Amino acid sequence: MGEDLRSLDAMLAASKNLPADDVDRLRGEHVLGAAAIPLHRQGDLATADIAADVTTARLILWNTGFDEAGYKAILEVEPRLLSRFTEAVVSQLETAMNAIMARDPGECIDHIQIAPSIPEVSVDWRRQLRTASGPGPTNQARKPRLEPQHPIEDGLHFTNQWEHDVYKILKERQAQLPDNETIGIMPLGAMRVRGHTFEPDLVVTYRGRAGVIEVDGPHDKGRASDDKSRERLLRHAGIHYVDRLDVRDVEGREQVEKFVTDFLKQLGR
Protein backbone atom coordinates (compact mmCIF):
# COMPACT_ATOMS: atom_id res chain seq x y z
CA MET A 1 0.00 0.00 0.00
CA GLY A 2 1.19 3.55 -0.69
CA GLU A 3 3.14 5.45 1.95
CA ASP A 4 0.14 7.60 2.96
CA LEU A 5 -2.11 4.57 3.34
CA ARG A 6 0.58 2.64 5.20
CA SER A 7 0.72 5.41 7.81
CA LEU A 8 -3.05 5.18 8.13
CA ASP A 9 -2.93 1.41 8.55
CA ALA A 10 -0.25 1.78 11.22
CA MET A 11 -2.53 4.13 13.12
CA LEU A 12 -5.46 1.74 12.77
CA ALA A 13 -3.35 -1.21 13.86
CA ALA A 14 -2.36 0.69 17.00
CA SER A 15 -6.07 1.21 17.78
CA LYS A 16 -7.24 -2.40 17.79
CA ASN A 17 -10.38 -1.60 19.72
CA LEU A 18 -11.82 0.74 17.08
CA PRO A 19 -15.24 -0.35 15.82
CA ALA A 20 -15.28 -1.51 12.20
CA ASP A 21 -17.40 1.48 11.18
CA ASP A 22 -14.80 3.89 12.57
CA VAL A 23 -12.07 2.11 10.63
CA ASP A 24 -14.12 2.38 7.41
CA ARG A 25 -14.70 6.08 8.06
CA LEU A 26 -11.07 6.88 8.85
CA ARG A 27 -9.91 5.08 5.72
CA GLY A 28 -12.54 6.82 3.58
CA GLU A 29 -11.75 10.29 4.90
CA HIS A 30 -8.04 9.70 4.37
CA VAL A 31 -8.39 8.51 0.75
CA LEU A 32 -10.91 11.22 -0.19
CA GLY A 33 -8.69 13.94 1.27
CA ALA A 34 -5.57 12.51 -0.35
CA ALA A 35 -7.42 12.57 -3.69
CA ALA A 36 -9.00 16.03 -3.33
CA ILE A 37 -5.77 17.89 -2.54
CA PRO A 38 -4.01 16.87 -5.81
CA LEU A 39 -7.17 17.78 -7.74
CA HIS A 40 -6.96 21.28 -6.29
CA ARG A 41 -3.23 21.55 -6.99
CA GLN A 42 -3.78 20.41 -10.59
CA GLY A 43 -6.31 23.18 -11.15
CA ASP A 44 -9.53 21.14 -10.93
CA LEU A 45 -10.93 23.49 -8.29
CA ALA A 46 -14.56 22.62 -9.04
CA THR A 47 -14.20 18.89 -8.31
CA ALA A 48 -12.02 19.55 -5.24
CA ASP A 49 -14.63 21.98 -3.92
CA ILE A 50 -17.39 19.41 -4.44
CA ALA A 51 -15.29 16.78 -2.64
CA ALA A 52 -15.17 19.14 0.35
CA ASP A 53 -18.99 19.03 0.42
CA VAL A 54 -18.85 15.39 1.54
CA THR A 55 -19.94 15.18 5.17
CA THR A 56 -18.59 11.67 5.82
CA ALA A 57 -16.62 9.26 3.63
CA ARG A 58 -16.40 5.52 4.28
CA LEU A 59 -14.49 2.75 2.47
CA ILE A 60 -16.06 -0.70 2.89
CA LEU A 61 -14.33 -3.87 1.71
CA TRP A 62 -16.98 -5.71 -0.28
CA ASN A 63 -15.35 -7.60 -3.12
CA THR A 64 -12.30 -9.78 -2.44
CA GLY A 65 -10.58 -12.14 -4.80
CA PHE A 66 -7.38 -14.20 -4.90
CA ASP A 67 -5.08 -11.24 -5.29
CA GLU A 68 -7.30 -8.17 -5.13
CA ALA A 69 -9.47 -6.18 -2.74
CA GLY A 70 -12.36 -4.09 -4.01
CA TYR A 71 -13.87 -1.33 -1.90
CA LYS A 72 -17.16 0.49 -2.04
CA ALA A 73 -16.92 4.18 -1.19
CA ILE A 74 -19.97 5.64 0.51
CA LEU A 75 -19.93 9.45 0.43
CA GLU A 76 -22.57 11.10 2.60
CA VAL A 77 -23.73 14.54 1.50
CA GLU A 78 -26.29 17.04 2.77
CA PRO A 79 -29.49 16.51 0.73
CA ARG A 80 -29.45 20.08 -0.61
CA LEU A 81 -26.02 19.43 -2.20
CA LEU A 82 -26.78 16.09 -3.85
CA SER A 83 -27.38 17.71 -7.24
CA ARG A 84 -23.71 18.77 -7.36
CA PHE A 85 -22.62 15.14 -7.50
CA THR A 86 -23.32 14.52 -11.16
CA GLU A 87 -22.23 11.36 -12.97
CA ALA A 88 -19.22 13.21 -14.38
CA VAL A 89 -18.15 14.52 -10.96
CA VAL A 90 -18.50 11.08 -9.34
CA SER A 91 -16.42 9.59 -12.17
CA GLN A 92 -13.68 12.19 -11.58
CA LEU A 93 -13.69 11.49 -7.85
CA GLU A 94 -13.50 7.75 -8.45
CA THR A 95 -10.51 8.19 -10.77
CA ALA A 96 -8.74 10.45 -8.27
CA MET A 97 -9.42 8.16 -5.32
CA ASN A 98 -8.28 5.11 -7.28
CA ALA A 99 -5.04 6.90 -8.09
CA ILE A 100 -4.41 6.92 -4.34
CA MET A 101 -5.54 3.32 -3.87
CA ALA A 102 -3.40 2.11 -6.80
CA ARG A 103 -0.23 2.67 -4.81
CA ASP A 104 -0.90 -0.80 -3.49
CA PRO A 105 -1.48 -3.31 -6.34
CA GLY A 106 -4.80 -5.06 -5.97
CA GLU A 107 -6.46 -2.27 -3.97
CA CYS A 108 -9.21 -0.37 -5.80
CA ILE A 109 -12.60 1.27 -5.47
CA ASP A 110 -15.19 -0.64 -7.48
CA HIS A 111 -18.14 1.61 -6.78
CA ILE A 112 -18.99 5.01 -5.31
CA GLN A 113 -22.35 5.52 -3.65
CA ILE A 114 -23.59 9.06 -2.96
CA ALA A 115 -25.98 9.01 -0.02
CA PRO A 116 -27.87 11.78 1.79
CA SER A 117 -26.44 12.40 5.25
CA ILE A 118 -28.68 11.61 8.19
CA PRO A 119 -28.91 14.50 10.70
CA GLU A 120 -28.60 14.04 14.43
CA VAL A 121 -32.07 13.72 15.91
CA SER A 122 -32.99 14.96 19.37
CA VAL A 123 -35.95 13.86 21.46
CA ASP A 124 -37.46 17.28 20.69
CA TRP A 125 -37.28 16.81 16.90
CA ARG A 126 -41.00 17.54 16.37
CA ARG A 127 -40.73 21.04 17.83
CA GLN A 128 -37.52 21.73 15.93
CA LEU A 129 -39.10 20.64 12.66
CA ARG A 130 -42.24 22.72 13.19
CA THR A 131 -40.17 25.76 14.18
CA ALA A 132 -38.00 25.29 11.11
CA SER A 133 -41.05 25.07 8.85
CA GLY A 134 -42.57 28.26 10.28
CA PRO A 135 -45.73 29.78 8.80
CA GLY A 136 -44.65 29.01 5.21
CA PRO A 137 -41.74 28.06 2.95
CA THR A 138 -38.54 30.01 3.54
CA ASN A 139 -34.88 29.98 2.59
CA GLN A 140 -33.83 31.95 5.67
CA ALA A 141 -31.42 30.27 8.12
CA ARG A 142 -32.01 26.76 6.87
CA LYS A 143 -29.42 25.09 9.15
CA PRO A 144 -29.94 27.11 12.38
CA ARG A 145 -33.70 26.47 12.25
CA LEU A 146 -32.99 22.82 13.01
CA GLU A 147 -30.64 23.62 15.88
CA PRO A 148 -32.11 24.08 19.38
CA GLN A 149 -31.76 27.36 21.29
CA HIS A 150 -30.48 29.51 18.43
CA PRO A 151 -31.27 33.26 18.68
CA ILE A 152 -34.53 34.50 17.14
CA GLU A 153 -35.79 38.08 16.79
CA ASP A 154 -38.46 39.64 14.56
CA GLY A 155 -39.21 36.18 13.20
CA LEU A 156 -35.59 35.94 11.96
CA HIS A 157 -33.15 33.20 12.95
CA PHE A 158 -29.43 33.52 13.70
CA THR A 159 -26.59 31.00 13.92
CA ASN A 160 -25.17 32.42 17.15
CA GLN A 161 -25.32 35.32 19.58
CA TRP A 162 -22.64 37.32 17.75
CA GLU A 163 -24.69 37.45 14.56
CA HIS A 164 -27.70 38.41 16.66
CA ASP A 165 -25.76 41.24 18.38
CA VAL A 166 -24.64 42.71 15.03
CA TYR A 167 -28.25 42.50 13.81
CA LYS A 168 -29.47 44.44 16.85
CA ILE A 169 -26.98 47.25 16.22
CA LEU A 170 -27.95 47.36 12.55
CA LYS A 171 -31.59 47.50 13.62
CA GLU A 172 -30.83 50.48 15.89
CA ARG A 173 -29.19 52.29 12.96
CA GLN A 174 -32.19 51.42 10.83
CA ALA A 175 -34.51 53.10 13.34
CA GLN A 176 -32.32 56.25 13.44
CA LEU A 177 -32.39 56.79 9.68
CA PRO A 178 -35.26 58.57 7.89
CA ASP A 179 -37.84 56.43 6.13
CA ASN A 180 -36.60 57.51 2.69
CA GLU A 181 -32.96 56.63 3.46
CA THR A 182 -33.04 53.59 5.71
CA ILE A 183 -31.40 50.18 5.44
CA GLY A 184 -32.68 46.64 4.84
CA ILE A 185 -31.27 43.73 6.86
CA MET A 186 -31.44 40.09 5.71
CA PRO A 187 -29.77 37.52 8.00
CA LEU A 188 -28.77 34.08 6.69
CA GLY A 189 -30.59 34.25 3.38
CA ALA A 190 -29.66 31.48 0.93
CA MET A 191 -28.09 33.02 -2.18
CA ARG A 192 -27.21 31.18 -5.36
CA VAL A 193 -24.20 32.43 -7.31
CA ARG A 194 -22.56 30.66 -10.19
CA GLY A 195 -21.51 27.20 -9.04
CA HIS A 196 -22.25 27.77 -5.34
CA THR A 197 -25.04 28.31 -2.83
CA PHE A 198 -23.98 30.68 -0.07
CA GLU A 199 -25.73 31.77 3.12
CA PRO A 200 -24.14 35.14 4.02
CA ASP A 201 -24.42 36.00 7.71
CA LEU A 202 -26.02 39.40 7.00
CA VAL A 203 -26.97 41.06 3.72
CA VAL A 204 -27.53 44.80 4.12
CA THR A 205 -29.10 47.11 1.54
CA TYR A 206 -28.41 50.87 1.67
CA ARG A 207 -28.69 53.67 -0.88
CA GLY A 208 -29.35 51.31 -3.76
CA ARG A 209 -26.46 49.00 -2.93
CA ALA A 210 -26.15 45.59 -1.29
CA GLY A 211 -23.37 44.62 1.11
CA VAL A 212 -22.48 41.53 3.12
CA ILE A 213 -21.23 41.25 6.70
CA GLU A 214 -19.59 37.96 7.66
CA VAL A 215 -19.22 37.33 11.39
CA ASP A 216 -16.20 35.11 12.03
CA GLY A 217 -15.55 33.41 15.35
CA PRO A 218 -13.79 30.42 16.87
CA HIS A 219 -16.19 28.15 14.97
CA ASP A 220 -14.90 29.44 11.62
CA LYS A 221 -11.73 27.69 10.50
CA GLY A 222 -11.80 28.31 6.75
CA ARG A 223 -8.76 29.34 4.75
CA ALA A 224 -8.20 32.96 3.80
CA SER A 225 -7.99 31.94 0.13
CA ASP A 226 -11.47 30.39 0.35
CA ASP A 227 -12.82 33.59 1.94
CA LYS A 228 -11.34 35.70 -0.87
CA SER A 229 -12.79 33.42 -3.53
CA ARG A 230 -16.21 33.59 -1.89
CA GLU A 231 -16.05 37.40 -1.64
CA ARG A 232 -15.05 37.65 -5.29
CA LEU A 233 -18.03 35.52 -6.35
CA LEU A 234 -20.37 37.67 -4.25
CA ARG A 235 -19.03 40.87 -5.82
CA HIS A 236 -19.42 39.42 -9.30
CA ALA A 237 -23.05 38.64 -8.40
CA GLY A 238 -23.78 42.30 -7.56
CA ILE A 239 -22.75 42.62 -3.91
CA HIS A 240 -21.06 46.02 -3.72
CA TYR A 241 -19.09 45.63 -0.48
CA VAL A 242 -18.08 42.71 1.76
CA ASP A 243 -16.54 43.06 5.22
CA ARG A 244 -15.72 40.59 7.99
CA LEU A 245 -16.02 41.04 11.76
CA ASP A 246 -13.72 38.68 13.67
CA VAL A 247 -15.25 38.36 17.12
CA ARG A 248 -11.93 37.16 18.55
CA ASP A 249 -10.67 40.73 18.14
CA VAL A 250 -13.74 42.37 19.72
CA GLU A 251 -13.51 43.52 23.32
CA GLY A 252 -16.83 45.34 23.66
CA ARG A 253 -19.97 46.72 22.06
CA GLU A 254 -18.23 49.94 21.06
CA GLN A 255 -16.03 48.09 18.59
CA VAL A 256 -19.02 46.42 16.98
CA GLU A 257 -20.79 49.77 16.72
CA LYS A 258 -17.71 51.28 15.04
CA PHE A 259 -17.56 48.33 12.65
CA VAL A 260 -21.20 48.88 11.66
CA THR A 261 -20.60 52.63 11.24
CA ASP A 262 -17.61 52.02 8.98
CA PHE A 263 -19.46 49.32 7.02
CA LEU A 264 -22.45 51.60 6.28
CA LYS A 265 -20.12 54.46 5.34
CA GLN A 266 -18.29 52.27 2.80
CA LEU A 267 -21.52 50.75 1.48
CA GLY A 268 -23.18 54.15 1.07
CA ARG A 269 -20.36 55.74 -0.93
Each residue's pLDDT tens digit, 11-45: 555 555 667 778 888 889 999 999 999 998 899 98
pLDDT at 1: 39
139 vs 157: CA distance, rounded Å: 11
Instruction: Kindly indicate whether the domain formed by 129-268 is annotated with CATH number 3.40.1350.
Output: yes
pTM of whole model > 0.75?
no
pLDDT over 60 at 3, yes or no:
no
Q: What CATH class is the domain 3-116?
A: alpha beta
Model confidence pLDDT, tens digit, residues 196-219: 888 999 999 999 999 999 998 765
184 vs 174: CA distance, rounded Å: 8
Is 106 exposed, middle or buried, given 0-12, 13-18 or 19+ CB atoms closer than 10 A?
middle
Q: Where in the chain is CATH 3.30.300? A: 3-116
Q: Rounded mean pLDDT of 88-111?
A: 88
128 vs 146: CA distance, rounded Å: 5
Burial 8-47 (b: 16+ CB within 10 A, else e): beeeeeeeeeeeeeebbbbbbbbbbebbbeebeeeebeeb
